[in-house]
Structure 1
Amino acid sequence: MKKISILIPCFNEVENVGPISTAVEDVLKKDLSSYDYEIVFIDNASTDGTRDKIEELCRNNSKIKAIFNVTNFGQFNSPFHGICSLDGDCVIPVCADFQDPVELIPVFVHEWEKGHRIVSGVKSKSRENGIIYFLRTIYYKLIKGMSQVHMIEHFTGFGLYDKTFVALLRKLDDPVPFIRGIVAEYGAGFNLKLVEYEQPRRRAGKTHNNFYTLYDAAMLSITSYTKVGLRVATIFGFICSILSLLVAFIYLVLKLTNWYGFDAGQAPLIVGLFFFMSIELFFIGLMGEYILNINTRVIHRPIVVEERRIGFDTDTDIEKEADAKR
């Protein structure tokens, strides 16, 4: 009997972990009853009671397991580590907030049985904030145009990954994993299948995405899969140098031919100075993002450090852990 591993990354989702586990299990029992399954939560150091709720779920259902991280390792590292930690014939990551429709799980599995070892959910529409969705669209088109890899628009990582692809993820040993880029880079070799869906609204709680997290995702994709930023800096710097020399020559000619009548004033000098300084700072910042990416890879810290596991064969169950604490 084939085994389906459902991975649910979470951070402060106390209102959602119970309903999402019920919804996932109902779909698995109803539409995929011929498969064995496990539901695994990987928690990024929640502080709102999410862990207590997960422990209760694990206590009441042997099919539900958990991995608790020692701290918040971010929106990319934790799911990636979870995927690599599971041993099912396929792994399906699902967001705890219900924005990944659980009804698509049987669709993914049916496509998997047809021979597609990666089945990726792609948002064709979204009920999230229209402005945010518009900005995401611009970002995806921008990164798709700049990247050497054919990036997948509106793909967030929701999908099905065959155990052969999971084995590849383990071999990559990437300290800065970006699952969206990895799927785009290697997907063709695993018979990638795209499945469109409309993204619903978050069921409960507040989104943990903010400007910083969105910026972090954008910079990770740019510094990991593009060279355009540095190339633009080089080309733009060369063009500006030529223009500066040309303007300087024109000013020299005008001054020599009309020594007393030509007075450029300070305004062009000040405007030009601030313009070129702002451009220089922008590209220094961009270079800093590339250097930060390199630094993270060189340090090569673990993707995730676990605090403990619950429900896995090699780990102590909740009751024994509680006894040990006493």
Structure 2
Amino acid sequence: MNISVVIPLLNEKESLIELHDWIANVMQSNHFSYEILFIDDGSTDGSWETIQQLSQKNNAVKGIQFLRNFGKSQALHAGFDKAQGDVIITMDADLQDNPEEIPELYNMIVSNGYDMVSGWKKKRYDSVISKNIPSKLFNWAARKTSGVKLNDFNCGLKAYHQNVVKNIDVNGEMHRYIPVLAKNAGFSNIGEKVVQHQARKYGETKFGMERFINGFLDLITIWFISRFGRQPMHLFGTLGFIMLAIGFAFSIYLGIDKLFLTPHGRLITDKPQFYIALVTMIMGTQFFVAGFLGEIILRTKENRQRYLIKDNI
């Protein structure tokens, strides 16, 4: 199979038929063998019923229905797990991503040898204050932190070689950082393509300003995981060693001061250096314990299901 199109969605009933017909026309006109995977992330507006109708009409349509809303990352994870195409295309269900981009994205993976290609919505039709400016700041921070030189990390329209989606773990809210996850997994040939962005036709966005706050928090998380996720003791052990060294240094100073400099002076506990030594040594011990716990958890963790599927077709 040439292409799997993975579409996570939440309450997008109005756009599904139009989106399906558009994708199907593009696939048929380019003679692609394909499947369309709709991942219903707990919709309550009848989206699943529409997906079932589309599946009866077109055998290439498949679907997964979550028991409740688990988030876009979990929806993508489920879609990636089920996808069978040589190239996997992800896009949003709100008609803001243009299916006409699919053939060129496919060719960039197959002919140009990219591991993945990320869309860049260079010209956007979103609110400048609520989306454009925060998005530019977010993308700048992501580039600086991750080292992945993309202009638009959060674009839903992306193309992947099958090897990429089968070897990365998308969880939490890490869908924004799939290029970083791919790079950390060893897939370094990451490209970018300017894609057409369209104004939302139906409904309203499911994401507010809080997604940028969560995005920056996730950015810190993925930086930590990429640097120290496999050896947490390298970070916590270093911090613990520094704290203990400071504590021991102050302890030695207090001992020398008491024995040789002011033997009949005030008590050690009357000096502020005593409390600095005490606090830093306690903190150092706690950092070491955190590092040990991190190593133990890393070596004993089990794969847990992060979402519950209610139905699939």
Aligned to 1:55: 52
5 Å-filtered alignment, 1:232-251, equals none
Residue 217 (structure 1) shift: 2.8
Aligned to 1:75: 72
Moved more, 159-168 or 218-227: 218-227
Change (3 A) 1:301 1:213: farther
Q: SS state of the match for residue 134, structure 2?
A: helix
Distance 2:159 2:102 in 1: 8
Aligned to 2:15: 16
Residue 87 (structure 1) shift: 1.4
Residue 74 (structure 1) shift: 1.0
Q: SS state of the match for residue 168, structure 1?
A: coil
Q: Which amino acid aligns with 1:306?
A: I
Q: For the Cα contact (< 8 Å) 1:83–1:93, is it kept in 2?
A: no
1:105 maps to 2:105: no
Q: SS state of the match for residue 144, structure 1?
A: helix
Residue 143 (structure 1) shift: 3.2
Residue 81 (structure 1) shift: 2.3
Q: For the Cα contact (< 8 Å) 1:92–1:161, is it kept in 2?
A: yes
* TM, length-normalised to structure 1: 0.66
Q: For the Cα contact (< 8 Å) 1:151–1:184, is it kept in 2?
A: no
Change (3 A) 1:22 1:120: same
1:119 maps to 2:117: yes
Q: Matched residue pairs, number?
A: 242
Distance 1:38 1:186 in 2: 23
Residue 226 (structure 1) shift: 5.0
Identity of aligned residues (%): 25
Q: For the Cα contact (< 8 Å) 2:80–2:166, is it kept in 1?
A: no
Q: SS state of the match for residue 14, structure 2?
A: coil
Residue 50 (structure 1) shift: 0.9
Distance 1:198 1:226 in 2: 34
Residue 194 (structure 1) shift: 0.8
* TM, length-normalised to structure 2: 0.69
**Which of 183, 202, 218 is the matching residue for 1:220?**
218
Aligned to 2:141: 142
Q: Which amino acid aligns with 2:205?
A: T
Q: Please give the root-mean-square deviation of Cα atoms over the aligned residues, in Å.
A: 3.0
Q: SS state of the match for residue 160, structure 1?
A: strand
Change (3 A) 1:162 1:193: same
Q: For the Cα contact (< 8 Å) 2:13–2:46, is it kept in 1?
A: yes
Residues 38-88 of structure 1 show CA distances to partners (whole Å, capped at 9, x for unaligned) of 111000111011111111111111111110011111122212321222111
What stretches of structure 2 of length at least 5 have no aligned partner?
Answer: 228-234, 240-293
Aligned to 1:96: 93
Aligned to 1:183: 179
Aligned to 1:155: 153
Q: Which amino acid aligns with 1:218?
A: F
Aligned to 1:305: 308
Residue 135 (structure 1) shift: 1.3
Change (3 A) 1:78 1:14: same
Distance 2:198 2:217 in 1: 26
Moved more, 108-117 or 67-76: 108-117
Distance 1:142 1:11 in 2: 28
Q: For the Cα contact (< 8 Å) 1:152–1:184, is it kept in 2?
A: no
Residue 29 (structure 1) shift: 0.8
